[in-house]
């Protein structure tokens, strides 16, 4: 029964992450952003790492390639991103946020930050540090070693 608590921790982690995501998703919908949270994350990461290949960006987003491809497809369909061939390796793709996409990012980024803040009330700077450190430890614990 000693190990039972790990089950509980996993549950708490999952439950909290789900609520944070749902909260953001609801705010997105109410403000007619026409984006899912994952699409928004992808947009931000592509925008901030414009030189990277598709594969690297997928990894940064924490998505596997087919999932990432589909997210990009949706962004392209909305006219927010576009694919371009890699200058030196024609297997690779580079992704770019379109002009419309950049406009959208600039429009909604401050509002998103506003929504996000609500989750982090009643926590100290010390808590934030612990939060990041603990979650990063967990993440690293489950990373495949040989990479």
Partner DNA sequence: TGACAATTATTAGTATAACAAATATAAGCA
Partner DNA sequence: TGCTTATATTTGTTATACTAATAATTGTCA
Interface positions with DNA (CB under 7 A)? 18, 22, 25-26, 29, 36-39, 53-56, 58, 63-74, 83, 86, 89-93
Tell me: does residue 9 bind a second copy (CB under 8 A): yes
Among DNA, a second copy, none, residue 129 binds (CB under 5-8 Å by kind):
none
Segment 122-141, which members bind a second copy (CB under 8 A)?
A: 122-123, 127-128, 130-132, 134-139, 141
User: Half-sphere exposure of 39 toward its Cβ, with a 13 Å CA cutoff?
Assistant: 21
- Judged by CB under 8 A, the number of residues near a second copy is 50
Nearer to a second copy, 59 or 82 (CB): 59
């Amino acid at each position: 029964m000693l190990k039972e608590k790990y089950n509980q921790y996993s549950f708490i982690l999952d439950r909290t992450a789900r609520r944070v995501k749902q909260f953001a998703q609801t705010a997105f919908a109410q403000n007619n952003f026409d984006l899912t949270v994952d699409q928004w994350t992808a947009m931000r990461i592509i925008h901030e790492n414009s030189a990277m290949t598709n594969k690297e960006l997928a990894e940064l987003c924490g998505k596997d390639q087919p999932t990432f491809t589909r997210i990009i497809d949706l962004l392209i369909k909305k006219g927010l991103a576009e694919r371009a061939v890699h200058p030196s390796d024609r297997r690779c793709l580079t992704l770019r946020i379109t002009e419309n996409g950049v406009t959208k990012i600039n429009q909604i980024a401050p509002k998103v930050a506003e929504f996000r803040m609500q989750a982090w009330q009643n926590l100290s700077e010390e808590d934030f540090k612990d939060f990041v450190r603990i979650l990063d430890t967990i993440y690293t614990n489950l990373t495949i070693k040989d990479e």
